[in-house]
Structure 1
Amino acid sequence: MNAVEVADRLRAFIALLGQPLACLDIETTGSHTERDRITEIGIVTLHPDGSQSNWSCLIHPGCAIPARITTLTGITNEMVADQLVFAHRAQALLERLENHIVIAHNARFDLGFLKQAFRREGIRFNPPVLCSVKLSRQMFPTERRHNLDSVMQRMGLSCAARHRALGDAAVVADFITTLACTRAEELLAACRAQRQRPSLPPHLAPERIDEIPDTPGVYLM
């Protein structure tokens, strides 16, 4: 399938989905949304005309990047020393994601950090969200592993910069593009099923749904 055919099929899929997709990944100083901070944001936008565009930026986290994180991502304290803090990127990022469905691999992690970062700036951020981990489970129900490396191996995808925000976001974009070209109806059904939100108690804000763990248990909200 050539580039024109890929763009045509992606355009048709996005038209049926109803909104363009912002394939997003972030890198952070750790896994705790309250204590840790974002160090890098990468976005691959899948536009309504079937084209794609890339955007990424480093973020000064306002704290030191632990050595173990630098080992994983390659992002050093020196690399972020002269970068803008999130507060100075927030409005431009909000405009970039506005009117898009945001999709990320393990979206709870990425969106949890972004929502918290926006909340610190007094900005409400609650976009429509898809999780590509959940989509992988829906599209490949007999497979046991759905981490990004497993998805890449299963679908023959490559990554120019693994564990960097734009590199990982590009894998998510390739995942969507490949399925839009080969299994569009199934992918559309999976996306719609994931976007269907249950009825909520009056006291429960919609954005809290994405914070509920997948594991069995009783959770007090």
Structure 2
Amino acid sequence: MYAIVDIETTGGFAGKSKITEIAIVIHDGEKEVETYETLINPEQLVPSYITGLTGITQQMVDDAPVFADVAAEINDILSDKIFVAHNVSFDYSFVKRALESEGYMFNNKKLCTVRLSRQIIPGHRSYSLGNLCESLGIQIDNRHRAGGDAKATAILFRQLLEKDEDTVRAALKHNSKETILPPNLPKAEFLALPESPGVYYFLDAQGEVIYVGKAINIKKRIISHFSGTSKNNRNQAIRNEIHHIDYELTGNELIALVLESQEIKRLWPKYNRSQKYIANQWGVYKYEDRQGYIRF
């Protein structure tokens, strides 16, 4: 059984923002079995730009239940289901954090319809939910609301299952890595990564380098970027923007450190913070003292 989930939130990452609306469509692989939808009081302000995007106002959520009031029901609905969402890491991280904050253990298997769509129906100009549904003739009622987007994702998921159920099964295997990879990163690129020292580059859709890192084991280090839930807004943004990974082997960690530093200063990637600015922490100075001696 699949639980197709969509949420609306007060912001971009689970460490700081909260859920304002959740919709769940229970699917048996052929048809909808059950639906659940509710607004949620996030117990924090809903930013105006979120209201502009979703139509959810502060007044709407002020009278809604807080998550603690619906946590048991949501946990029961999701229990033993495969968690499905469009860009699943986003929705999963919020739901997991919210449930665990209420004392529930949450570690469901998950599937990303962005990744599945890229494999099963390649060649689309965009794999955002709106553009993909438009290309496939799937109507979205109430766009950017949890109920409308969840129902559209359910229709998309059913079509993907009809086209290639084997790809879905393969993605659920424990060692497939499909569930932890960024939605837009080809799995073949990840599998081709070496387990050697070097410098790696995250590239966006335009081929621009957005992050540079170094590692003793490139593949293992990159897995650590993607495993677990996002700890901050920057990590979530990087994950969503990665389309390709490049690398350069260095033979040892020392050369990787030097090359990483040079590349950050040369490329100035948007998500690297350290090593961009040179601070003069020491210096050698020549001066003449009061007795006329030259000193350092």
TM-score (norm 1): 0.78
Q: How big is the alpha-carbon RMSD for the aligned residues of Structure 1 and Structure 2?
A: 2.6
Matched, 1:197 2:174: yes
Q: Secondary structure at the match of 1:40?
A: strand
- Structure 1 residues 141 and 50, CA gap change in structure 2 (3 angstroms): closer
Identity fraction in percent: 35
Q: Does residue 140 of the first structure (1) align with residue 121 of the second (2)?
A: yes
How far does residue 210 in structure 1 lie from its aligned partner after superposition? 6.4
Higher helix share: 1
Contact 2:75 2:104 in 1 (8 A): no
Name the SS for the 1:96 alignment partner.
helix
Tell me by how many angstroms 1:46 deviates.
1.2
Q: Encode CA deviations 1:196-218: one digit per residue, 9 max, x unaligned.
A: 233999xx99x935659474389
Deviation at 1:48, TM superposition (A): 6.7
Q: Deviations over 1:13-65 (max 9, x none)?
A: xxxxxxx1111100000102111100000011113774433210010000010
Taking the aligned partners of 1:209 and 1:69, their CA distance within structure 2 comes to 26
Structure 1 match to 2:73: 92
Q: Which amino acid aligns with 1:193?
A: A
The answer for unaligned runs of 5 or more in structure 1 is 1-19
Q: 1:149 to 1:78 in 2, by over 3 A?
A: same
Specify the SS of the correspondent of 2:227. Answer: helix
Structure 1 runs (4+) greater than 6 angstroms displaced: none
Secondary structure of the 1:89 match is helix
Q: Which residue identity lines up with residue 105 of structure 2 in the other structure? A: R
Q: How does 1:182-193 map to 2 (within 5 A)?
A: 183=163, 186=164, 188-193=165-170
The total of aligned residue pairs comes to: 192
1:150 is matched with: 131
The code of the aligned residue for 2:117 comes to S
Please state if 1:39 is matched with 2:58.
no
Cα distance in 1, alignment partners of residues 22 and 65 from structure 2:
12
**Paired amino acid for 2:39:** L
Please, which of 87, 101, 106 is the counterpart of residue 82 of structure 2?
101
Query: Which has the larger strand fraction?
Result: 2
The structure having more radius of gyration, on CA atoms, is 2
